[in-house]
Amino acid sequence: MAAINLGRATAIIPQLKELVSLIQIKRPLYEFHATGYRERYDDDTDTTTVWVSEFEVVQDADRVGEIAYERKVGRKNSAGDKPDAFVVRSENIAKKRGSNRTSMITTNIDSALKEVIKVFASPTQDSICSSLVRSVANAFDNTEYSWRRVLQDIAGYSGADVYRWIIESHIKGTVQPMPASFVVHENKLHLYDTYLAGNELVATSNYKSGANRKGTVVKILSDDTIRVVPFSYDVRKSYENNGDVLMRYRNFEEMPIKMQERIAVLKIAEENEPISDVGVKFADDLMYIVE
């Protein structure tokens, strides 16, 4: 049977456990990883039981959807109450107006099972590549500002003094001594390396320029296999028109030596710490490496 990871829980909500059992019969290769929890306190025993209320469903390390049993999300009954219900989530479910998630809600376990069998599917090669490239481009966009901002941590100044210094240097034809308000914090000078490395990676990656981007996106999956896709992957084109570019390495040793070396450095680096001539680790499982 497929693996069931309960996380911090010790049990599964009975209705959800029954749905999992039915899915296992139909799809024995699926794995279930707890992502949502519900706690129940027992006054008699003075103990708290943690139940799994939601699972991420995975096949071959790829997320194929989510299943949950949630409180008061079903359709209102004649008494005006909303019952607890099963929730099936997948990118393959048509998004309803006003909803930010693609989901199907039902109180009928057979209907939930049918929906899982119908819509849960491994992602296409194109969706994998597009998602990874967008994730790294967004990570660059979110992180670039923090790399530039370290200058403000390293040095300080008075705005008026800057203008006077520039003007007087121009009038006198020589660079004048720095005003007293100009200060460099020696204990933070090491952050200048972050600024330089960040600038270098932004320029090297060309991350805002679509198909003109450079470098490689690396994704480490839950089974420790590694996906690699060129950062230049054009999300506007089909996978076929991009060429056969998606690689999946079953272990670290299968990868090219140059790639191994850079990933090894990033594995021990801090998150979002740019490293010259190497790359940056945006998360434990998501990296950008230079060519």
Same domain flag for 216 and 235: yes
* Interval 28-42 mean pLDDT: 92
Q: Helix count (H) and strand count (E) of the chain?
A: 7, 14
Residues 263-275: tens digit of each pLDDT? 999 999 999 999 9
Same domain flag for 93 and 68: yes
Same domain flag for 98 and 131: no
Residues 174-194: tens digit of each pLDDT? 999 999 999 999 999 999 999
H runs (alpha helix) in the chain = 14-26, 109-119, 125-154, 159-172, 192-205, 239-242, 257-267
Q: Which of 119, 135, 170 is the last residue of a domain?
A: 119
> What is the value of pTM for the model shown?
0.77
Same domain flag for 61 and 140: no
Those residues whose C-beta lies under 8 Å from the C-beta of residue 77, and which sit 6 or more positions away, are: 83
**Continuous segment of H or E residues that includes residue 250:** none
Same domain flag for 111 and 138: no
Q: Which of 119, 151, 184 is the last residue of a domain?
A: 119
Query: What's the total number of domains in the chain?
Result: 2
Same domain flag for 76 and 173: no
Residues 197-209: tens digit of each pLDDT? 999 999 999 999 8
Note down the domain range covering 42. 4-119
**pLDDT value of residue 96:** 53
Residues 38-86: tens digit of each pLDDT? 998 887 788 889 999 999 999 988 999 999 999 999 988 888 889 999 9
Residues 80-110: tens digit of each pLDDT? 889 999 999 998 887 655 444 578 999 999 9
Q: Which of 119, 148, 171 is the last residue of a domain?
A: 119
Same domain flag for 75 and 158: no
Is residue 285's pLDDT more than 80? yes
Same domain flag for 239 and 253: yes
The percentage of the chain sitting over the pLDDT mark of 70, rounded to a whole number, equals 97
Same domain flag for 150 and 47: no
pLDDT band at 117 (very low <50, low <70, confident <90, very high): very high
Same domain flag for 141 and 19: no
Same domain flag for 272 and 137: yes
